[in-house]
Structure 1
Amino acid sequence: MKIESKPLRYAHAEGHTDVCFSEDGQHIITCGHDGDVRIWLGIEDDDPNSHCVGESALAVCFKDKRLYVANDNHTVQAYTFPAFDKDGIVTRFTAPVTQIMSSPQIEVLGCCSENMESKICNLEGGAPLFVMTEHKGPVLSVAICPHMKYAATACGDGVLRIWDIDTQKIVKEVTCVPKINTFYAAKVLCRISFEPTEGKYLAYPNNREIILLDSESWGQRLTFTHNSIKCAISQCLFSPCGQYIAGSTLAGQIAVWEVQSGTCIGIIEHPTSHNVSAMAWSPKGNGVLAYCDIAGQLGMLVNCYGQDSNKVNGDSEDIEMVERDDNDELVENLIHNYESDDDNAISLEKIKNDTLGLTTEQESRPQSRHAASAPSAVPPQPPFQPSATPAHLEHRTPGVAGNVRC
């Protein structure tokens, strides 16, 4: 099954655009340079709920039924979902917030900023648990392993740093990031990702390949690349199951690899070759990947696991068939429990109506009734309705009350 791309949708004004899923996978949430946060029921939603949070919004994250948005006041603001009421400030920076991240396995937020700081914060706010301050440029991305043992940051000074959260010290440095002095000038965002189930790998982009580091020795374990990749990879992201990894390039290409075999499942070309600014896997685990580009457009890839995304977690047709089988079994049990004879016959349609709320086609359609023939000596009954057809204009069957049309 090939990866398929859904048509792009306008989401926000041109500029950096971020995207995430709600934890149940029912909603896609985007924010953009226009300062709006939009909540979509799907890629085909023509009327998403829109909320203005300021002049611009660079990052959004969904966690525990709340939305966390980076606004133009350099704060991480919490909102209730879906009411979208303000629910406190998690943390503040002195420069724009460049990324907010979390995962189902951890109960914290990872936040980074252009002010050369990155923080691990409580969901309810208060003092940060860990502030990473040894950067010498704008921090572009942050990642936290599922066991809360390590954190990693990619900085505009050209260095990827891996931190031990307990000791709050750097355990590894890797030179892989193009040097820039402001987040808005960054083309390669160097978005990094820990393997989400056990945290045994850290993935980061390096030129035209994605490199996996072993989280025990921090040695290079695997490398993912493809001959069709035209330019540098900007970001990478593990799937929720940890078996697949996606990467996007500066030319808008999105590639998906299977981690164990290293096989490239497919590469999708962006229709307008815009740089992809954010990606998010659906938490349903169905191989759906949403993404946004720097033109403010929202896109979606399906079948990213090499299988039909509609059938990865159970086909709707199969579910419907199971429900029908259950209904049929219930009806058979009811029939079996009834004792019928010639004087008390069972109506299958009536049992379905009484127990399952079903309506058969015959019952839902008006039926014609045929009157029993009457002796010819009985004269026709005169019309009893004002609109009835006169007897001399239409044939009227003897013995039938009024005009009955079949």
Structure 2
Amino acid sequence: MLGTLLLSISRSGSRHANQRPGGADKLAWQWSAKERNGYEFLLNTDLGEIRSRHWEKGKKSKKDILVCLERGNAEILRIFTCGSDGDARVWSDFENDDPTSYRVGEIATAVCVHENTMFVSDENGFINSFELPTGVKIESVCKFTLPVNHMEISVNGRYLLACSSDFKLKLIDLDDGNTQILFGLDDNLTHPFCSVAIDPKIRHIAASSCDGSVKVWVISKPAKAVAALKILPKFNDISLTRPLSRLQFEPNDGQILAVPVGNSVNLYSSDSWGLKKELKVVSSINEVQSAIVFV
């Protein structure tokens, strides 16, 4: 059996994403039993809930709250949020009402963490590292010309993968400082990337693009493009992208790449990058899937 899937049904700010889990609302989202075939599913409203609580603490902006889940030994260790209020917050769990807050800039656009180092991108395109729990800035790790849309760090803390509205996708080796700008099979950077993911075995990386594709590379020097899946809606601007297509590798062995597509989550095998299974979502609300997280 794969890990549990945590599904974020829409971008933050939707009427469903900010409702508290429980009751009839909690039952509104479920996998079709026929399609599930052993895959477990955890309902999403937790992610919308934590976004709302970040906003309530800051009392500044309810928009664009980003969530990062830190895992360890098949469980969630900490939850990190950041947003346009310029704060990054650390929550012990989904029920935590007293997070630790850090001022990281005027606007924070993405966050990820490895052990005692938190990485936060700002409105100027810088990715900065901060020491935890002190919150002291360590250094500027990378610079884009426009804000970062999403980033992820490898499980061993060596690789940082980030994408920006300047159409760049960068793989940074934190051990030696080497930075690669990645190109897909078509070598055509005409649209920004929306989301990134790193295989837990550190063999592959993937990114969803506003050009309607999911691109996959083998991690090497240089990284080698191996697949381009034309499965998503096409948009010219990240701000217009619906949904965000926050994809993720299965966290145990990384042999499955899960991608939210329409009202389904598609599972692709790393052996061939062919579609292994399409998991349908039965819903009383006509909402496309935006992000998934294995927990």
Please give the TM-score of this superposition, normalised by the length of structure 1.
0.54
Match among 20, 27, 52 for residue 68 of structure 2 = 20
- Aligned partner of 1:285 in structure 2 is none
Separation of aligned partners in 2, 1:30 and 1:50: 9
Separation of aligned partners in 2, 1:48 and 1:146: 28
CA 1:46–1:192 in structure 2 vs 1: closer, same or farther (change >3 Å)? closer
Separation of aligned partners in 2, 1:111 and 1:83: 24
**1:296-315, Cα deviation, whole Å (9 max, x unpaired):** xxxxxxxxxxxxxxxxxxxx
Match among 169, 172, 184 for residue 224 of structure 2 = 169
Match among 116, 120, 123 for residue 174 of structure 2 = 123
CA 1:88–1:213 in structure 2 vs 1: closer, same or farther (change >3 Å)? same
Separation of aligned partners in 2, 1:23 and 1:208: 27
Structure 1 residue 92 displacement after superposition:
0.9
Structure 1 or 2: more strand by fraction: 2
Contact 1:31–1:58 (Cα < 8 Å) also in 2: yes
Does the alignment pair 1:198 with 2:241? no
CA 1:221–1:79 in structure 2 vs 1: closer, same or farther (change >3 Å)? same
- For the residue of structure 2 that corresponds to 1:10, the secondary structure is helix
Please give the TM-score of this superposition, normalised by the length of structure 2.
0.72
Corresponding letter in the other structure for 1:195: E
The gaps in structure 2 that reach 5 residues or longer are 1-26, 28-41, 56-60
CA 1:55–1:125 in structure 2 vs 1: closer, same or farther (change >3 Å)? farther
Give matches, 1:7-406, under 5 Å.
8=49, 9-12=52-55, 13-22=61-70, 25-105=76-156, 107-123=158-174, 126-128=177-179, 130-133=180-183, 134=187, 135-166=189-220, 168-228=223-283, 230-239=286-295
- Aligned partner of 1:358 in structure 2 is none
Contact 1:106–1:146 (Cα < 8 Å) also in 2: no
Corresponding letter in the other structure for 1:90: V
Identity over the aligned pairs, expressed in percent? Answer: 31
Q: Give the CA RMSD over aligned residues.
A: 2.4
The gaps in structure 1 that reach 5 residues or longer are 240-406
**1:22-41, Cα deviation, whole Å (9 max, x unpaired):** 45645422101111112234
Which of the two has higher C-alpha Rg? 1
**1:305-352, Cα deviation, whole Å (9 max, x unpaired):** xxxxxxxxxxxxxxxxxxxxxxxxxxxxxxxxxxxxxxxxxxxxxxxx
Contact 1:141–1:154 (Cα < 8 Å) also in 2: yes
Higher relative contact order (CA 8 A, sep 6+): 2
- For the residue of structure 2 that corresponds to 1:147, the secondary structure is coil
**1:129-188, Cα deviation, whole Å (9 max, x unpaired):** x32144321110111212322211111111211122335332211112222232222231
CA 1:175–1:109 in structure 2 vs 1: closer, same or farther (change >3 Å)? same
User: Is 90-99 or 9-18 further displaced after alignment?
Assistant: 9-18
